[in-house]
Amino acid sequence: MKYIRERKQVGIIYHYTSLVSLLKILKTGTLKAGAEGTISTTRNKNGKDMIFGLESNQCCLVLDGNTLSDTYKIKPYRDIINSYEDEQEERIFTSEIKNIDKYIIKIILFNPDDWFFSTKETKLISKILGLDYFDLDSVIEFLENNFSIEINYGY
């Protein structure tokens, strides 16, 4: 007798975040839920244009939704009040995803030459990187040296 193993076909999903949050996620290996108690992603690769707040548009984790759906419940979601027509939001129903690196396909850094950080953010990023001072090159070097994840640049 043959058994057919099926899985939900979520495909590639995207999680947009700030550089500070990206570094925390990678350093801890954990992606934590937001205020709603779920992790928000989208199937829309142009989703950065739909997110409010410049700091949320600095980075994107490109995730393997198929592999994630083997362990976590993922459902489409549409916020009727605060929604774009083509949002394509997918919510992951968990408080956190540990070992997130096994689900990351690549990281996209958007417009890094235009990034601006407050003094507080600068201190936090420097602390995460273990440096007294950081610039874009040191962030990229940190990512490339500590994580075997493809890094792309988007504009």
What's the angle, vertex CA 81, arms to CA 75 and CA 82, rounded to 5? 75
CATH tag, 12-112: 3.20.170.20
Q: How far apart are CA 24 and CA 32, in angstroms?
A: 10
- Give backbone dihedrals phi and psi of 137, rounded to 5 degrees, phi first: -60, -40
pTM above 0.75, yes or no: yes
Q: For the chain, which ranges sit under pLDDT 70? A: 4-7, 47-56, 79-87, 155
The domain locations on the chain are 12-112
What's the angle, vertex CA 105, arms to CA 32 and CA 86, rounded to 5? 75
Contact 109, 144 (CB under 8 A): no
pLDDT tens digits for range 14-53: 999 989 999 999 999 999 998 889 999 988 887 665 555 5
